[in-house]
Amino acid sequence: MNYPKEFEDLINCFRRFPGVGYKSAERMAYQFLEMKEEYRDDFVKCIEGISSLKKCKACHNLSSNDLCEICSDFERDKSIICVVQSIKDVFAIEKSNSYKGLYHVLDGVISVKSGKLPEDLNIDSLMDRLEGVKEIIIATNPNLDGETTALFIAKLLEDKNIKVTRLAYGLPMGGNLEYSDDVTITKSFENRKTF
């Protein structure tokens, strides 16, 4: 006998997550089975809840409203924009408490491997919000695609009379900003250098 179809379906749902193999997915499905009905409903509500999340109209960060918490915060320094690959990076930087400017989420990097072109990224919308901006910090990941994208954007900004900086190489090469510790992130903010 195999698992009832409903159960097998749920296992397969969990298997689609990164790093979850069959045995882990099976354990999670069992956990669900043993869960109280109301908690299962809770979970469903949470999943449906994130459908109401939007991308911030200015910086493309995750947001409950049209403008994200950062863009609508009067205390943030609106003359600096930190350009990142993904929303995960926004939260990694926020956690380090080393930066008080705005962000701009590219939603990826220029990549030959995955066929991503500059026009697939949020670069146009970055160019549209340069008024009053004195510095742009490019915080793409320190690997090939990240560097390519950083250079591409720096080139675009060359004649705009804006200081363009790159996070310092306190970040280990080939690494991921998302998994860096707070001290490393802070160091890389302090030592950022001009292109």
- In the complex, the residues that contact a second copy under the rule CB under 8 A are 1-7, 9-10, 13, 16-19, 24, 27-33, 37, 39-40, 42-44, 46-53, 62-64, 68-70, 73, 88, 90-91, 94
For residue 154, the SS3 value is helix
Contact (Cβ atoms closer than 8 angstroms) between residue 148 and residue 109: yes
For residue 116, the SS3 value is strand
Q: Which is nearer to a second copy, 122 or 154 (CB)?
A: 122
Minimum distance between the CB of residue 12 and a second copy, rounded to whole angstroms?
Answer: 8
Helix (H) or strand (E) holding 93: helix 87-96
Minimum distance between the CB of residue 100 and a second copy, rounded to whole angstroms?
Answer: 11
Whole-angstrom CA distances from 4 to 10, 11, 37, 97 are 10, 11, 19, 49
Q: What length is written for the chain? A: 195
Minimum distance between the CB of residue 38 and a second copy, rounded to whole angstroms?
Answer: 11
Structure tokens of 95?
A: 């956690």
Q: Which is nearer to a second copy, 99 or 166 (CB)?
A: 99
Neighbours of 171 (CB within 10 A): 20
Minimum distance between the CB of residue 187 and a second copy, rounded to whole angstroms?
Answer: 21
Q: Which is nearer to a second copy, 37 or 128 (CB)?
A: 37
Q: Which is nearer to a second copy, 92 or 157 (CB)?
A: 92
Q: Dihedral, CA atoms, 42, 60, 122, 126, nearest 10 degrees?
A: -170
Minimum distance between the CB of residue 79 and a second copy, rounded to whole angstroms?
Answer: 18
Q: Which is nearer to a second copy, 29 or 164 (CB)?
A: 29
Which is nearest to 139 in space by CA: 60, 86, 79, 72? 86
Q: Which is nearer to a second copy, 40 or 155 (CB)?
A: 40
Neighbours of 68 (CB within 10 A): 24
Minimum distance between the CB of residue 136 and a second copy, rounded to whole angstroms?
Answer: 20
